[in-house]
Structure 1
């Protein structure tokens, strides 16, 4: 059966070449489709991340299908696997998607889950995470790539930006010491702070099971004389930190990284508390360039007027990068996951994507090379900082 599929693929490809004037919707073979899985938190505290990734992946796939697909074949985004940010649930979702025919993975979304799934996918299923930032997320196999910055890169770039723009000299940090993402950003930030002339006058931690009361840590930060509080946490924690900081009368600047993105959409959160908050993130829905605005409109049209966050932009770029690699590798849907994975991995170092989140290239170890962007929240919108 497999050999017949290969024959059909060749014949269909030849038919495409002979009918260049036919609409782009005419594909190599009607019944041959690349199947891409998406895994992330579709419910729970971090659902904004997972749903944005899934929705954006579908938009990108629809656009790509209108323009020739992956190497002349249609691409299908399978129903999303909901891991709720939990590693064990992520592995279960991965296996379920394999049973449904998944050949490539856009995910997972969060770091702990990605580390677990990466161990399963190593040298087997092509894995491309839009947003998992821990170093170990893509180290299990040579077939694993990421679109976003690593945790250390975010911490290092944040310290450099704060210093270069003279935002503060005395800084404090408040972070979840039990989470891979938060700790990774924190450690690199503290290390680089000493190299760029920043004085870390308070370094306070909490854990995931105690993330409802920050009064003790905030009191210490207030007493320290810090001018800026660095928050390498996800938006759900940061929203509560900002609220309690306000109640404690803490007059200080706030700076976050990509996990902060989404804070303006937290239910019942007083958005005025985010006024002046700064963060590193690769995308803003308020950007004025044509590419960003077209994406924002497409996302809103497909999702009841919702506004995409940077996780959506990263996922959108992932699918388009997959297309470039698939075209370069000349893969076909009848190939095994292992063969697709090997071919895609080899081609990733050949491509360059001019995407929503910037111009990106990839190294052999799967890391993305692009420049960060910084934004400040003003009047409920992200304004790029220069």
Structure 2
């Protein structure tokens, strides 16, 4: 009588199990001595990284948020690109290694916090904060709570650093820009009757305006027109320009980003009004704005810490690499972000920090060491910080001539 198939299979399985077991009842897997020695001597080819490929071990993770899309994208992409050039240069030296990651915040505070949380999930150890001031204020509260050190390249509002011992700036704070602008206009005798157009729902613009007015008053500068606008009304500047023109303003001070400035210049020309214009670092980038007639910016003046036409070797090298990589001339935001990465390198070396440290441990190390540093960068010599996070460096007066920045000093 034939046994059913399932009984035959069961019997074969039982016999196989018995033959494979030792006295302990466990299966003995004895590789040949050749295989065993080879396994102990070196890892398998699959586990080895490819030649030239770096593993994630021993790398400091740096993250930042900025407007990579939208109306302020020139700033965010410039900062990201400038930081990446510095990272590539430092990594090529073979010592300290960085990995950089930027998330898009679209110049929006809520989206900036979401972008920051993505970076935190990624394992960010050091932060570049946010590129623009309003998102940076929101993100700085998060970095303070989480004890992640942040060095923003370009967010200049005082609220970014206020009450936060681990939030630092590479750019001038808004009060310093307002003071320096008024002083520069006074010292150079650039205007006798001054009009101001500012954005009253933007912490960057209003912060600069407040200190400019106070300093102008103490210097005896005559302000003949002060007008404002908001996010919802930044397309028509006829009222503001008419007021400045009717009051005889020969210089218009614009503590603004480049987008509204480009419209102001267009509309002023249309109404045949040609005063001098003086702006701040947010205006940097206007020459690379899509569809903007750069001849409208001829003679516009601004304070900025970076001049892409400077003849020193380091600036020329940076500009060359930036043009080759991104097809553009770097602005101040790119240079500030480049300096941020090198400042982090200096701080890491000075504090003897290691990539194995947690973000919180690195934060406390950076808080201690940053106020002791004196840093030489693209955006200034003898750059230093106070413990409140504000930077000390000298601004440079620039004038736009023939589609390029030319130093005024």
Q: Taking structure 1 as the reference length, what is the TM-score of the superposition?
A: 0.90
Q: Which runs of 4+ in 1 moved over 4 A?
A: 26-30
Q: For residues 293-336 of structure 1, give each alpha carbon's deviation from its aligned partner in whole angstroms, at most 9, with x where no partner exists.
A: 11001111221x21111000000000000100011111111211
Selected match of 1:97 from 116, 119, 128:
119
The 5-angstrom pairing of residues 15-164 of structure 1 reads 31-70=57-96, 74-78=97-101, 80-122=102-144, 124-164=147-187
> 8 Å contact 2:319–2:329 — kept in the other structure?
yes
Q: Secondary structure at the match of 1:175?
A: strand
Q: Max radius of gyration: which structure?
A: 2
Deviation for aligned residue 1:31: 1.9
Q: What does residue 266 of structure 1 align with?
A: 289
Deviation for aligned residue 1:207: 0.6
1:336 has 2:358 as partner: yes
Structure 1 portions without partners, runs of 5+:
1-25
User: For 1:347 and 1:381, how far apart are their aligned partners in 2?
Assistant: 38
Q: What does residue 234 of structure 1 align with?
A: 257
User: For 1:281 and 1:52, how far apart are their aligned partners in 2?
Assistant: 15
Paired residues, what number? 357
Mark the CA change 1:28 to 1:328 in structure 2 (over 3 Å): closer, same or farther: farther
> 8 Å contact 1:376–1:382 — kept in the other structure?
yes
Q: For residues 236-260 of structure 1, give each alpha carbon's deviation from its aligned partner in whole angstroms, at most 9, with x where no partner exists.
A: 1100000001111112000000011
Deviation for aligned residue 1:69: 3.9
1:327 has 2:353 as partner: no
Q: What does residue 165 of structure 1 align with?
A: 188
User: For 1:103 and 1:93, how far apart are their aligned partners in 2?
Assistant: 15
Q: What does residue 230 of structure 2 align with?
A: 207
> 8 Å contact 2:129–2:140 — kept in the other structure?
no
Once the two structures are overlaid, the 10-residue window that deviates more, 26-35 or 139-148, is 26-35
> 8 Å contact 1:69–1:323 — kept in the other structure?
no
Q: What does residue 287 of structure 1 align with?
A: 310
Deviation for aligned residue 1:107: 2.5
Q: For residues 353-378 of structure 1, give each alpha carbon's deviation from its aligned partner in whole angstroms, at most 9, with x where no partner exists.
A: 11000120111111111111110001
User: For 2:132 and 2:274, how far apart are their aligned partners in 1?
Assistant: 32
User: For 1:228 and 1:33, how far apart are their aligned partners in 2?
Assistant: 50
Deviation for aligned residue 1:138: 1.4
Mark the CA change 1:338 to 1:256 in structure 2 (over 3 Å): closer, same or farther: same
User: For 2:304 and 2:175, how far apart are their aligned partners in 1?
Assistant: 14
User: For 1:243 and 1:262, how far apart are their aligned partners in 2?
Assistant: 16
> 8 Å contact 1:149–1:368 — kept in the other structure?
yes
User: For 1:27 and 1:43, how far apart are their aligned partners in 2?
Assistant: 31
The 5-angstrom pairing of residues 364-383 of structure 1 reads 364-383=387-406
Q: For residues 9-37 of structure 1, give each alpha carbon's deviation from its aligned partner in whole angstroms, at most 9, with x where no partner exists.
A: xxxxxxxxxxxxxxxxx999872211000
Q: Secondary structure at the match of 1:239?
A: helix
User: For 2:255 and 2:95, how far apart are their aligned partners in 1?
Assistant: 38
User: For 1:300 and 1:251, how far apart are their aligned partners in 2?
Assistant: 33
User: For 2:200 and 2:280, how far apart are their aligned partners in 1?
Assistant: 16
> 8 Å contact 1:46–1:84 — kept in the other structure?
yes
Q: Secondary structure at the match of 2:198?
A: strand
> 8 Å contact 1:39–1:108 — kept in the other structure?
yes
Deviation for aligned residue 1:220: 0.7
> 8 Å contact 1:90–1:117 — kept in the other structure?
yes
The 5-angstrom pairing of residues 355-366 of structure 1 reads 355-359=377-381, 360-366=383-389
Q: Secondary structure at the match of 1:326?
A: helix
Q: Secondary structure at the match of 2:337?
A: helix
User: For 2:274 and 2:56, how far apart are their aligned partners in 1?
Assistant: 62
Deviation for aligned residue 1:49: 0.4
Q: Secondary structure at the match of 1:131?
A: coil
> 8 Å contact 2:157–2:174 — kept in the other structure?
yes
Q: Secondary structure at the match of 1:349?
A: helix
Structure 2 portions without partners, runs of 5+:
1-51
Mark the CA change 1:27 to 1:318 in structure 2 (over 3 Å): closer, same or farther: farther
Q: Secondary structure at the match of 1:76?
A: strand
Mark the CA change 1:27 to 1:369 in structure 2 (over 3 Å): closer, same or farther: farther
